[in-house]
Every structure is written in C-alpha cells, then in structure tokens.
C-alpha cells in the first residue's frame, strides 16, 4: 500500500498538467485566430501594437507551448498572459471600435 500513493500522485499531476495544457492551447489559439481575422487599421486606432506584432507574439507563444515547454513553464505562462491581455483588452477595444455586434 505504501507504493500506491506516489503512483497516484504522479497520475493526478499528469491530469492537472494536461488540463492546463489544453486550456492554454485553447486560449492562445482563440486569441491568435481572432487577431488574424481582424482588420489591420483597427489596432493603431485603439492605441495598441500593430496587427503583425500581436500575431507574432501570439504565434510564438503558441508554438513554444506546443513544443513541449508546457503551460507551467515560463514561456507557457507568458503565452497565457499575452493571450489573456489580447482577449480582455485588445479584443474589447476592437469590438468597441466597430459596431459592437458580431460573434467575436
């Protein structure tokens, strides 16, 4: 019975890291797709980085997360932060700049 606890602990850690990886990839993927589908003239209008800058940041972070650094590494945490900043600040600004309607 003493050997069962460490094996179970590693399985729980694996499941938690897998859930975090899926969450990170979804958040970064949604942010990247949204950045690609937006008009380039809207980004300077809200006073943020240009469209190419956001696409580069989000794409590099997504690739580094996919290459195995994982969501708990420094690159993974930076990628999650960049995606959340984009989704919670830039996306809202772009939506307010347009008519405010739409799926995104």
CA distances to 52, 75, 79, 97, 101 from 40, in Å: 8, 26, 22, 13, 18
Confidence of residue 5 (pLDDT cuts 50, 70, 90): low
Confidence of residue 2 (pLDDT cuts 50, 70, 90): low
Instruction: Say yes or no to pLDDT of 24 above 70.
Output: yes
Q: What is the pLDDT of residues 42-62, one digit of tens each?
A: 999 999 999 999 999 999 999
Q: Find tokens 């772009």 and name the residue.
A: 94
Give the pTM: 0.84
**Across 7-24, average pLDDT:** 88
Domain boundaries, the chain: 4-97
Averaged pLDDT of the chain: 88
d(CA 27, CA 77): 12
């Amino acid at each position: 019975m003493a050997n069962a606890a460490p094996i179970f602990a590693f399985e729980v850690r694996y499941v938690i890291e897998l859930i975090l990886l899926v969450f990170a990839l979804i958040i970064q993927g949604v942010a990247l797709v949204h950045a690609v589908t937006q008009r380039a003239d809207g980004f300077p209008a809200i006073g943020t980085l240009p469209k190419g800058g956001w696409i580069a940041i989000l794409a590099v972070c997504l690739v580094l997360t996919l290459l195995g650094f994982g969501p708990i590494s420094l690159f993974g945490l930076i990628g999650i932060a960049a995606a959340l900043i984009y989704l919670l600040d830039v996306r809202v600004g772009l939506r307010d700049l347009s008519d405010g309607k739409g799926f995104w």
